[in-house]
Amino acid sequence: MEISAVENEIVGKWLASAHRFYISYIAIKDGWYIFRVTARHLLNQLGMKATRQAQMACGDFYVQDIEIQKMTNRSFIRHIKHLSDKAAYQEEGIR
């Protein structure tokens, strides 16, 4: 079930404060939020120039529903940065 980021109250607040990340969609599956984050924006945030290939690359990052309820803006951003270091994070997990 895909939802628009702006339709989700909790996530909508984070996206407003974490606009430096490009999250192209958010889905919910079996109690997990799935964020698709474009690598280019993560690399820019970390002060690295994205290669042509990285500009189109993106990764899916998973956060449990119970975790997301407890996160603050800062911990959400830190979590996305941490997960961005793991290119194949749960690649086969939920799919």
Amino acid found at 62: Y
pLDDT of the residue at 1: 45
pLDDT tens-digit profile, the chain (95 residues): 444 444 555 555 555 544 445 666 677 778 777 777 766 666 666 676 766 665 656 666 667 767 766 776 666 666 666 655 443 333 334 33
pLDDT of the residue at 94: 38
Domain chopping of the chain, boundaries? 2-84
Q: In a 10 Å sphere around its CB, with 0-12 CB exposed, 13-18 middle and 19+ buried, how is residue 56 labelled?
A: exposed
